[in-house]
Amino acid sequence: MKLSKSQGPISDDDRKKMDTVPCTSGVGSIMYGMVCTRPDLAHAVSVVSRFMVEPGQAHWEALKWILRYINGSLDSGLLYHKNSQGGTVIEGFVDADFARCLDTRKSLSGYMFTLFGTAVS
């Protein structure tokens, strides 16, 4: 999903409707679980949380999509295992997009390091 500030509420009626939607509470709840147990949610939560000052219907739909993803992956988790060569293998990955943010045209980059086959950072 591509989210933008322009998808926020335009009229006062839209703002009143979105005031009843628990967007900030939902993002906060997801962030609580994401910090230590669900690093796979970090990017999605980062993108959605940018629009919590004035969330629109598209932002609420994106948040519901994240919640559906969590519901469908409750049995997933981090599993650490020793590699067959007997040594410690640290791998690092990095990725960036070029000017993906529709509002500021800034790039977003991310990294991941794995130890014993599972993400540690």
pLDDT tens digits for 33-83?
887 778 888 888 888 988 888 898 999 999 999 999 999 988 877 766 666
Quick check: 87 pLDDT over 70?
no
Quick check: 97 pLDDT over 90?
no
Burial class (CB in 10 A: 0-12, 13-18, 19+), 27: buried
Contact by Cβ (8 Å): 114, 107: no
Tens of pLDDT, residue by residue over 23-43, are 888 999 888 888 777 888 888
pLDDT confidence of residue 41: 87
pLDDT confidence of residue 85: 62
pTM (global) more than 0.85: no
- Better pLDDT: 117 or 71: 71
Query: Which sequence spans correspond to the domains of the chain?
Result: 1-76, 78-121
pLDDT confidence of residue 42: 85
pLDDT confidence of residue 69: 93
Contact by Cβ (8 Å): 59, 48: yes
Question: Average pLDDT for residues 91-101, to the nearest whole number?
Answer: 80
Contacts of 90 (CB under 8 A, 6+ apart): 113, 114, 115
